[in-house]
DNA sequence: CCTACCGATCGGTAGG
DNA sequence: CCTACCGATCGGTAGG
């Protein structure tokens, strides 16, 4: 009866499931995410939810994809207007800290930090997806470290892998201090640590991703 | 019929449950740890297991306590023979890295790294226990940082909280790289990062905790 | 420490 | 997308 495409409606339903799923999973974990809870929250039947994914593992994989989109939107894309190399690296780290410190994106904080420890002892497609996205992010950071070295913005003897390892450590320490220990100073500590590692101050959170030239600024 | 004290037997049974529980929880998580699985693995009935703890939460708390003992034995106590201040700090960090890098202590790696992200969004006694033990460990490290500063072994303007934050980050980065990404170079990276933060090389893993003076060495 | 049991919920299927 | 259902397992209790 409805003139609207049922496929479009199905797509929207699926999107709603996945969006709520990533929120639930950020709190309860990917394994603690249940089809029944998801169905109840969305006013659907369990089989209505499951039909979009085939199995719980299919649902988990869709949620990991959605989490990657959230991370891309909240971190990677916020540095889009900056030049490759050190400026991009500083903008990425600043956005990363803002994302990890914030309460407004996902209720349980960074999905990947939680999924990493939850799945590091398992095998299978979900673990592989989490690992793959972590690797992509590290490669992204390393690429800009190398560009910064080539441009003379970082010392010539910089060990790119080591630097990315240590930056990642500060992000993980921020998650730990902010969410487990509820330390409000954690973001400042991470910011200071990363700035020292990079030899340059990080841009302030509010202006992390200027889309135009600084001439437009105050 | 048995002349042995049934209380002593009950204590041994409880210890066996808790020891296996911490191993299971290091892999499956504290929430993924189930009474039924524990009972099956130990050849007991579920109620036989549950009787020792009253509830799943009681079991979880006992497992957290056991994990603290494992950490104390594998890390803190390995530095017992060193002098307070910088030598202790270096020995603690070296033992910490060895523990995080190893596969021989718990099958799922460091219990607390996993429990921290699993429980940071929950409330209740289990979360409080995990948080408390993390805090105690950080205070322990900070104490030796301060002693090192007072002894002139670290610069006078050292920010002890900041240094502990950054050391923790390297430990977390090691867990992430070693267990999720299966990077065999992770321990070396953490070792290098911590050595730079402390301005001194870490003692080698095998001699992390000499009980006597170096004169006894080779 | 056991057997026997409880209601609730799990992931998933049949059939529409 | 639904109802109706499946066997398995969850944490926990009664009673011994």
Contact A90/A202 with Cβ under 8 angstroms?
A: yes
Q: How many CB pairs under 8 A join A and B?
A: 127
Percent of chain B with pLDDT over 70: 92
Output the CA torsion sign for B187, B188, B193, B195.
positive
Q: Spell out the SS3 assignment of chain A.
A: CCCCCHHHHHHHHHHHHHHHHHHHHHHHCCCCCCHHHHHHHHCCCHHHHHCCCCCHHHHHHHHHHHHHHHHHHHCHHHHCCCCCCHHHHHHHHHHHHHHHHCCCCCCCCCHHHHHHHHHCCCCCHHHHHHHHHHHHHHHHHHHHHHHHHHCCCCCCCCCHHHHHHHHHHHHHHHHHHHHHCCCCCHHHHHHHHHHHHHCCCCCCHHHCCCCCCHHHCC
Nearest CB partner across the interface for B173, out of A121, A135, A168? A168
Residues facing strand C, Cβ within 7 A: A 33-37, 46-47, 50, 54-57; B 9-10, 13-14, 39, 43-49, 51-52
pLDDT tens-digit readout, B88-115:
999 999 999 999 999 999 999 999 999 9
The candidate with the shortest Cα–Cα distance to A138, out of A73, A190, A71, is: A71
pLDDT value at residue A104? 94
Contact A143/A161 with Cβ under 8 angstroms?
A: no
Higher pLDDT, B114 or B217: B114
**Which residue's C-alpha is at the least distance from the C1' of D9?**
B36
Bases on strand C under 7 Å from any protein CB: 1-5, 9-15
Contact A10/A92 with Cβ under 8 angstroms?
A: no
Examine the pLDDT at A187 and tell me if it is beyond 70.
yes
Topology (CATH) of B58-204: Tetracycline Repressor; domain 2 (1.10.357)
Q: What is the mean pLDDT of residues B74-87?
A: 97
CA angle A29, A35, A39 (to 5 degrees): 120
Half-sphere exposure of residue B91: CA atoms within 13 angstroms, side-chain side: 21
Domain boundaries, chain A: 6-206
Bases on strand D under 7 Å from any protein CB: 1-5, 9-15
The whole-angstrom distance between A98's CA and the closest CA on chain B is: 17
Contact A119/A130 with Cβ under 8 angstroms?
A: yes
Nearest CB partner across the interface for A120, out of B130, B166, B179? B179
Q: What is the mean pLDDT of residues B107-126?
A: 98
Q: What is the mean pLDDT of residues B199-217?
A: 60
- For B123, nearest residue in chain A (alpha carbons): A180
The whole-angstrom distance between A108's CA and the closest CA on chain B is: 6
Contact B88/B79 with Cβ under 8 angstroms?
A: yes
Q: What is the C-alpha to C-alpha distance for residues B125 and B121, in angstroms, rounded to an integer? A: 13
Instruction: Return the structure tokens found at B72.
Output: 């104390």
Task: Check CB contact under 8 Å for A117 and B119.
Answer: no
pLDDT tens-digit readout, A70-119:
999 999 999 999 999 999 999 999 999 999 999 999 999 999 999 999 99
pLDDT value at residue A6? 80
Half-sphere exposure of residue B140: CA atoms within 13 angstroms, side-chain side: 20
pLDDT value at residue A216? 37
Non-local (6+) Cβ contacts of A36 within 8 A are: A46
Give me the phi and psi of B168, to 5 degrees please: -60, -40
Q: What is the C-alpha to C-alpha distance for residues B204 and B191, in angstroms, rounded to an integer? A: 10
- For B168, nearest residue in chain A (alpha carbons): A173
Fill in the DSSP letter of residue B104. S
- For A24, nearest residue in chain B (alpha carbons): B121
- Using pLDDT thresholds of 50, 70 and 90, give the confidence band for residue B5: low
CA→C1' distance for A36 and D13 (Å): 26
pLDDT tens-digit readout, B150-161:
999 999 999 999
Let me know if domain A6-206 sits in CATH 1.10.357.10.
yes
- Using pLDDT thresholds of 50, 70 and 90, give the confidence band for residue A217: very low
pLDDT tens-digit readout, A13-28:
999 999 999 999 999 9
Residues comprising chain B, all counted = 218
């Amino acid at each position: 009866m409805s003139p609207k495409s049922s496929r479009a409606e199905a797509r929207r339903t699926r999107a709603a499931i996945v969006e709520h799923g990533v929120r639930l999973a950020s709190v309860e974990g990917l394994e603690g995410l249940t089809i029944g809870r998801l169905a109840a929250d969305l006013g659907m039947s369990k089989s209505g939810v499951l039909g979009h994914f085939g199995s719980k593992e299919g649902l988990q994989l869709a949620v990991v994809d959605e989490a990657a989109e959230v991370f891309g939107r909240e971190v990677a894309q916020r540095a889009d207007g900056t030049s490759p190399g050190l400026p991009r690296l500083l903008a990425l780290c600043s956005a990363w800290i803002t994302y990890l410190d914030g309460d407004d994106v996902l209720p349980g904080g960074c999905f990947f930090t939680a999924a990493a420890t939850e799945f590091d002892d398992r095998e299978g497609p979900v673990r592989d997806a989490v690992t793959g996205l972590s690797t992509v992010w590290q490669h992204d950071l390393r690429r800009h470290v190398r560009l910064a070295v080539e441009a003379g913005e970082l010392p010539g003897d910089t060990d790119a892998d080591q630097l990315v390892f240590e930056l990642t450590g500060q992000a993980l320490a921020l998650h730990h201090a902010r969410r487990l220990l509820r330390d409000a100073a954690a973001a400042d500590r991470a910011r200071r640590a990363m700035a020292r590692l990079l030899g340059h101050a990080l841009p302030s959170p509010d202006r992390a991703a200027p889309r135009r030239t600084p001439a437009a600024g105050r």
